Amino acid sequence: MLKKSFLRKCLTQPDPQKTLFQVLSRREEIFLNVDNKLVAKLDDDRKLHKMLKTLLRMKPKNNRREIINIDQHNYRIFF
């Protein structure tokens, strides 16, 4: 299971196939909607940090709340 200091698992799960995580940030609300098959693969801190930095760089500055979906296809693109 993910034991990250920068992620918090949300208690409400809108989809049973996916797990919702909140990225702990003071400036914006970012949520990761991760496919359950990929949760174990994201256990490496370095990979997850790299992916989050890439996503935050591509994010528009005026957007304060965003939900990022990570499925099998997105995972292959980032790694």
Read off the pTM. Answer: 0.70
pLDDT band at 19 (very low <50, low <70, confident <90, very high): confident
Alpha carbons 33 and 15: distance in angstroms, whole number: 9
pLDDT band at 4 (very low <50, low <70, confident <90, very high): low
Highest-scoring range by mean pLDDT, 4-8, 21-25, 35-39: 35-39
Alpha carbons 29 and 67: distance in angstroms, whole number: 8
Q: Residue range 2-26: average pLDDT?
A: 77
Question: Exposed (0-12), middle (13-18) or buried (19+): which is 41, by Cβ within 10 Å?
Answer: middle
Q: Dihedrals φ, ψ of 74, to 5°? A: -65, -40
In the sheet that holds 29-35, the strands lie side by side as 7-9, 18-23, 29-35, 65-70
Query: How many domains are contained in the chain?
Result: 1
Domain-located, residue 68 = yes
Residue ranges making up the domain that contains 57: 44-79
pLDDT band at 45 (very low <50, low <70, confident <90, very high): low
Domain-located, residue 57 = yes
